[in-house]
């Protein structure tokens, strides 16, 4: 179906055009092997299993946390849960859902078990786009497809359970069987996509890496910290600084943007907020535009890929990563956040978390 995106007509595939019944017919003789039970693997695997597809999981048993999680989620060792090697041997659609760095490491194993006519499936364009660095070069006799949900594995599962679905892009990198596109779309519907829009492996990874480092995560966290620090330096309490920086955004304003767009959110705020936002928006754009241009250039020329592969492949990386995350967790700003979240009514656990703001360590009970 053609949809007008701001004056540009684009193709999208909806559940109405490609219903679940059609997806099941396309994949009726397929065994979908989910390789890796870390971030996207559990969500996509469980969603497809709940939708009635023939799904198995391939997970290295030495990664006990992920293996145990799979068992807890109902995957049966020897029946629906296997080693990576056996899952690849049994599967006809191999979903490579381990991390980008890990894909490079296990690719020789995956490649060895690919059979003519199999489909090699990705949820990120990273390994294929940067094949000169990752060495992930599929054989000519398999389909190479991608469905990239526009959200974390947690969101993919949560949106599936509440019936909303999550938007996904899809791409065909190689069509050996002549069925690559319908296989991609069928899996996309199977994992619970709300709708799917076409892209390429290259365009997906360029936009994805830019988004993660930019507005979605890196820029968002950076400007939150900057505003919080300025408010605190000028005598505002942690509670006030956090609420004006994060809580009002996540609990109120972003929901208005989600409902009807940024202009609608502006129209439903005070006149003072409107005027200030309209006056300061160009200043922030001017300040950040050069940073985004530099970011996109580094993504496109492969520098960000090199950074990912070199850092995540280091010995002791998980410990270093945890140390970086602990800095965020133990910061005053996010301790204030924990206290603020605990005060929200009707929290899921119905349990109040008591946090000490401005001290080291995790102090919740």
**DSSP label at residue 77:** B
Give catalytic status of residue 124 as yes or no. Answer: yes
Closest CA to 103 of 194, 205, 16, 188: 205
> Which tokens sit at 180?
């690559």
| Three-state DSSP state, 269 | coil
Tally the C-alpha atoms within 13 A of residue 253's C-alpha that lie toward its C-beta. 16
Q: Which of 49, 124, 157, 232 is catalytic?
A: 124
* CA 68 to chain CA centroid, nearest Å: 22
Check: CB of residue 94 under 8 Å from CB of residue 127. Answer: no
Coil/strand/helix, residue 314: coil
Distance between CA 186 and CA 171 in Å, rounded? 12
Beta bridge partners of 145: 121, 172
Bridge partners of 198, per DSSP, are 170
Q: How many CA atoms lie within 13 A of 260 on its CB side?
A: 7
Could you identify the residue written with the tokens 């002549």?
178
Q: What letter does residue 268 receive in the DSSP assignment? A: T
Alpha carbon of residue 112 to chain centroid: 28
Show which residues are catalytic.
124
């Amino acid at each position: 179906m053609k949809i007008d995106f701001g004056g540009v007509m684009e193709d999208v595939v909806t559940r109405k055009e490609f219903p679940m019944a059609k997806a099941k017919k396309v994949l009726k003789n397929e065994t979908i092997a989910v390789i890796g039970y870390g971030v996207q693997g559990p969500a996509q695997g469980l969603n497809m299993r709940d939708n009635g597809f023939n799904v198995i999981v391939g997970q290295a048993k030495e990664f006990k946390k992920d293996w145990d999680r799979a068992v807890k989620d109902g995957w049966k060792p020897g029946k629906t849960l296997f080693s990576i090697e056996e899952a690849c041997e049994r599967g006809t659609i191999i979903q490579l859902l381990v991390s980008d760095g890990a894909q490079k490491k296990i690719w020789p194993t995956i490649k060895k078990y690919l059979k003519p006519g199999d489909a090699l499936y990705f949820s990120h364009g990273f390994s294929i786009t940067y094949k000169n660095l990752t060495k992930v070069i599929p054989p000519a006799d398999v389909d190479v497809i991608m469905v990239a949900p526009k959200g974390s594995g947690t969101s993919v599962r949560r949106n599936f359970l509440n019936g909303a679905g999550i938007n996904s892009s899809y791409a065909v990198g190689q069509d050996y069987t002549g069925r690559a596109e319908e296989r991609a779309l069928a899996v996309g519907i199977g994992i619970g996509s709300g709708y799917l829009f076409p892209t390429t492996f290259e365009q997906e990874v360029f936009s994805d890496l830019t988004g993660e480092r930019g507005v979605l995560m890196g820029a968002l966290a950076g400007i939150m910290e900057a505003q919080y620090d300025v408010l605190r330096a000028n005598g505002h309490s942690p509670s006030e600084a956090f609420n004006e920086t994060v809580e009002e955004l996540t609990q109120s304003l972003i929901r208005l943007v989600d409902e009807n767009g940024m202009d609608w959110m502006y129209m439903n705020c005070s006149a003072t907020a409107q005027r200030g936002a309209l006056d300061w928006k160009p200043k922030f754009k001017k300040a950040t535009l050069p940073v985004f241009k530099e970011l996109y250039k580094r993504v496109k020329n492969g520098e960000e890929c090199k950074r990912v592969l070199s850092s995540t492949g280091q010995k002791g990386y998980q410990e270093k990563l945890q140390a970086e995350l602990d800095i965020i967790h133990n910061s005053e700003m996010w301790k204030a956040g924990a206290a603020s979240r605990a005060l929200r009514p009707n929290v899921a656990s119905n349990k109040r978390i008591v946090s000490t703001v401005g001290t080291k360590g995790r102090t919740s009970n």
